[in-house]
């Protein structure tokens, strides 16, 4: 054979090589399309369009002067993808355990638990294969898998420990039914400096994500007004619930793809919407006023150990609440630690509980009789009578709680000295229909529209459902039930000049950029109840309550005219009035001639530790009104309505001029 041609051996060798290559290719194709088809499809399925969510920051709740009442604080949730760990980083594990305060044995358990099966966890082998961190969110058009919040390091995934039900797992199980754990939580409140130190360790597979957690800087201050969110940031009560539409913001998102190892492929991002943080909501309450309210409640609790107590402070001509507190209360930051038997402390009893208001309710009958022109402040009634005729019936009048030095009392004295029989006579003058109409106009028997706390409407029955004796009992605040807020707003009718205003708590809403989108400066009028003249007459008569001749001289504030009314109600226990249990109250305002603040103090069940064993409004509630009023004067800038009294000699000298 010529040397210019290849030998037969070489040709056979070349042909055999070609046949081997084609054979290998054929085997590979058979493997891909037949034998390994299911596994390949699983990997291909993982590289599909996904929605990646970026959580919005919840807006702040502020008081009327900008102090923060509720805020969202960012923190780092630290976790690990066990499949991403490298063997060479194992020597750093003890240092990481010390940094996060976790026992090293527990950390090793989490790091080496890579799978969860139907019945047990399966520890990983000693050799840890290297892999990239994985991330996971929602798969469009498919059943969602646990979605993480934005990662601080590339590839962060959902957070959970390997033994927890909310572990982030592979969406597809392997042949044995196991699912790989892609994220196990190591800590959920890692500070930024600590996270920086952890990152410097360089342990691949350990990374964090930023989350927002609700925090209440003042703990229990205004707890029943602010409300709280649970650990999943769902609003549960108070303004957190009422204003959630504005506070929660809108999450951002982007659409992209992930590969078979769950890594985001940035080049395939198609759409992106930035997050919109929540708006801030400013309330009408003033933290300094609220603090005074809660300190006084603490004093009442320590001194009298009542079952419960409520204090409300508001502006009479707008209805804005400046402070509202209840005893007992709770710490907003520890709402989940309140024992089941103490969870009644989480209720806003100022609007959710009702009581018989007692003698404070006498303002309704007196104001209505004045407004209708049936009486004037000097009209006298014989309060020594124990029975009267009404609509051809003989009705027994209620007994008196106080002794009087004369039989006849004027309308002004009926109020200042709190005559039960006098109030009953005013109710008889009005008649059932007019008495009911005015009581309803004052705000009793229906909710006032207060937005938080689960407000109830109280009890005010229609006249056709009254017992014959009710016409003499309702004027003194019996057989009618009200919330503390209803009684407070009824007194505010007199302080406002005769108008019932809706109780308000929201003053301003601003977006994340600080632009105002809602602002309310004025009150929301529900209805005019009395003429301004009648309201002024009532205020003048109620000033006598705080005098030495009235039922509450303990409420007097030096330099200011105080108007108000005491109430001492015998409680219904098991359907019967029990003279051993009372609700004591004082509701009033000052300065009486140009009211700037209304204060209500209602104390339930303080008899055991009250002077003489009876909780009177005069001894239990009125002193609290005085103490709080004195503290509110400088905070609210309230000016005295009295002219300073100067010595006679000084007056004469000043009038003499330069003589």
CB atoms within 10 A of CB 617: 31
**Whether the Cβ atoms of residue 225 and residue 324 lie closer than 8 Å to each other:** yes
Consecutive H or E run containing 365: helix 362-371
Measured distance CA(381)–CA(359) in Å, rounded: 18
Measured distance CA(503)–CA(438) in Å, rounded: 19
Between 469 and 77, residue with greater pLDDT: 469
DSSP 280-328: EEEES--HHHHHHHHHHHHHHHHHH--SEEEEEEE-TTT-BEEEEEEES
Reference 531, options 577, 490, 569, 494; nearest CA is 494
**Measured in Å, how far apart are the chain's first and last C-alpha atoms?**
156
To 10 degrees, the CA torsion angle through 362, 366, 367, 370?
180
The three-state DSSP-derived secondary structure of 22-54 is HHHHHHHHHHHHHHCHHHHHHHHHHCCEEEEEE
- Give the 3-state secondary structure of residue 104: helix
In the prediction, which pLDDT does 48 show? 55
- With vertex at residue 236, the alpha carbon angle to CA 231 and CA 241, rounded to the nearest 5 degrees, is 120
Measured distance CA(582)–CA(619) in Å, rounded: 12
* pLDDT, tens digit, 9 for 90 and up, residues 591-625: 999 999 999 999 999 999 999 999 999 999 999 99
Reported as a pLDDT band with limits 50, 70 and 90, residue 288 is: very high
The three-state DSSP-derived secondary structure of 537-550 is HHHHHHHHHHCCCC
Length of the chain in terms of residues written: 659
Is the per-residue pLDDT at 192 higher than 70?
Answer: yes
In the prediction, which pLDDT does 142 show? 27
User: Which tokens sit at 243?
Assistant: 């204003």
Q: What's the average model confidence in pLDDT over 189-207?
A: 85
In the prediction, which pLDDT does 169 show? 55
Measured distance CA(263)–CA(243) in Å, rounded: 38
Reported as a pLDDT band with limits 50, 70 and 90, residue 68 is: very high
Q: What's the average model confidence in pLDDT over 416-445?
A: 96
Reported as a pLDDT band with limits 50, 70 and 90, residue 172 is: low
Reference 598, options 363, 303, 369; nearest CA is 363
In the prediction, which pLDDT does 454 show? 93
Measured distance CA(542)–CA(68) in Å, rounded: 38
User: Which tokens sit at 330?
Assistant: 């709770």
* Residue owning tokens 């009005």: 430
Measured distance CA(473)–CA(359) in Å, rounded: 10
Q: Which CATH superfamily is domain 287-330+355-636 in?
A: DD-peptidase/beta-lactamase superfamily (3.40.710.10)
Question: Distance of CA 229 to CAs 71, 237, 286, 332, 614, Å?
Answer: 11, 7, 22, 9, 41
**Whether the Cβ atoms of residue 191 and residue 208 lie closer than 8 Å to each other:** no
Reported as a pLDDT band with limits 50, 70 and 90, residue 147 is: very low
In the prediction, which pLDDT does 404 show? 83
Q: What's the average model confidence in pLDDT over 348-355?
A: 96
* pLDDT, tens digit, 9 for 90 and up, residues 506-520: 999 999 999 999 999
Q: What are phi and psi of 469, to 5 degrees?
A: -80, -15
* pLDDT, tens digit, 9 for 90 and up, residues 463-488: 999 999 999 999 999 999 999 999 99
**Whether the Cβ atoms of residue 213 and residue 75 lie closer than 8 Å to each other:** yes
CB atoms within 10 A of CB 251: 14
Where exactly are the structural domains of the chain? 53-283, 287-330+355-636
Reported as a pLDDT band with limits 50, 70 and 90, residue 18 is: confident
- With vertex at residue 489, the alpha carbon angle to CA 485 and CA 491, rounded to the nearest 5 degrees, is 120
Measured distance CA(182)–CA(261) in Å, rounded: 10
Reported as a pLDDT band with limits 50, 70 and 90, residue 8 is: confident
User: Which tokens sit at 306?
Assistant: 């009542």
**Alpha-carbon dihedral sign for residues 329, 332, 335, 337:** negative
CB atoms within 10 A of CB 69: 24
**Percentage above 70 pLDDT, the chain:** 82
* Residue owning tokens 């359907």: 575
Reference 567, options 493, 488, 456, 457; nearest CA is 488
Measured distance CA(259)–CA(250) in Å, rounded: 28
Omega prior to 646 cis, within 30 of 0:
no
> What's 148's DSSP letter?
P
**Whether the Cβ atoms of residue 133 and residue 84 lie closer than 8 Å to each other:** yes
Reported CATH class of domain 53-283 = alpha beta
In the prediction, which pLDDT does 173 show? 61
């Amino acid at each position: 054979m010529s040397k210019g041609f290849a030998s037969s051996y070489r040709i056979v060798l070349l042909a055999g090589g070609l046949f081997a290559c084609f054979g290998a290719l054929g085997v590979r194709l058979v493997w891909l399309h037949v034998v390994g088809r299911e596994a390949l499809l699983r990997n291909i399925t993982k590289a599909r369009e996904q929605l990646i969510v970026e959580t919005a920051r919840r807006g702040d709740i502020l008081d009327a002067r900008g102090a923060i009442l509720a805020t969202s604080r960012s923190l780092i949730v630290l976790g690990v993808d066990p499949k991403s760990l490298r063997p060479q980083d194992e020597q750093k594990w003890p240092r990481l355990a010390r940094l996060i305060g976790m026992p090293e044995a527990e950390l090793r358990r989490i790091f080496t638990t890579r799978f969860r099966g139907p019945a047990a966890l399966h520890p990983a082998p000693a050799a840890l294969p290297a892999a990239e961190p994985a991330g996971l969110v929602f798969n469009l058009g498919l059943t969602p898998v646990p979605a993480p919040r934005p990662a601080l390091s590339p590839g962060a995934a959902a957070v959970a420990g390997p033994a927890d039900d909310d572990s982030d797992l592979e969406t597809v199980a392997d042949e044995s039914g196991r699912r790989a754990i892609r994220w196990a939580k190591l800590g959920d409140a890692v500070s930024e400096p600590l996270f920086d130190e952890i990152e410097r360790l360089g342990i691949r597979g350990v990374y964090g994500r930023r989350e927002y957690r609700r925090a209440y800087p003042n703990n229990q201050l205004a707890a029943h007004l602010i409300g709280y969110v649970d650990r999943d940031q769902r609003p549960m009560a108070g303004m957190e619930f009422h204003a959630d539409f504005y506070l929660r913001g809108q999450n951002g998102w982007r659409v992209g793809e992930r590969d078979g190892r769950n890594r985001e492929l940035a080049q395939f991002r198609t759409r992106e919407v930035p997050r919109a943080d929540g708006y801030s909501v400013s309330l009408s309450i003033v933290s300094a006023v609220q603090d005074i309210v809660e300190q006084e409640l603490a004093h009442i609790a320590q001194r009298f150990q009542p079952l419960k107590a409520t204090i409300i402070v508001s502006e009479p001509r707008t209805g804005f609440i400046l402070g509202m507190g209840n005893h007992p209360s709770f710490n907003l930051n520890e709402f989940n630690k309140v024992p089941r038997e103490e969870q009644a402390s989480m209720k806003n009893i100022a609007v959710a509980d009702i009581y018989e208001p007692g003698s404070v309710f006498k303002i309704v009958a007196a104001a209505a009789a004045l407004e209708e022109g049936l009486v004037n402040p000097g009209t006298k009634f014989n309060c020594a009578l124990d029975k009267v005729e009404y609509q051809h019936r003989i009705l027994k009048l209620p007994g008196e709680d106080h002794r009087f030095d004369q039989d006849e009392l004027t309308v002004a004295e009926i109020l200042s000295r709190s005559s039960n029989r006098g109030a009953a006579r005013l109710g008889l003058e009005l008649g059932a229909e007019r008495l009911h109409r005015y009581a309803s106009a004052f705000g009793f028997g229906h909710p006032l529209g207060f937005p938080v706390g689960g407000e109830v409407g109280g009890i005010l029955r229609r006249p056709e459902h009254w017992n014959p004796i009710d016409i003499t009992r309702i004027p003194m605040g019996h057989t009618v039930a009200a919330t503390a807020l209803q009684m407070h707003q009824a007194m505010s009718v007199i302080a406002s000049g005769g108008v019932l205003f809706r109780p308000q708590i929201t003053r301003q809403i601003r977006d994340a950029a600080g632009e105002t989108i809602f602002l309310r400066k004025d009150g929301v009028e529900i209805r005019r109840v009395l003429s301004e003249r009648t309201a002024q007459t009532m205020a003048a008569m109620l000033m006598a309550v705080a005098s030495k001749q009235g039922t509450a001289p303990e409420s007097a504030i030096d330099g200011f005219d105080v108007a108000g009314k005491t109430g001492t109600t015998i409680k219904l226990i098991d359907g019967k009035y029990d003279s051993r249990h009372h609700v004591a109250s004082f509701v009033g305002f000052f300065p009486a001639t140009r009211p700037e603040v209304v204060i209500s103090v209602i104390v339930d069940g303080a008899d055991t530790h009250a002077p003489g064993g009876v909780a009177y409004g005069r001894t239990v509630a009125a002193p609290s009104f005085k103490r709080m009023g004195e503290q509110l004067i400088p905070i609210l800038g309230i000016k005295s309505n009295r002219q300073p009294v100067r010595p006679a000699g000084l007056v004469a000298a000043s009038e003499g001029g330069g003589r």
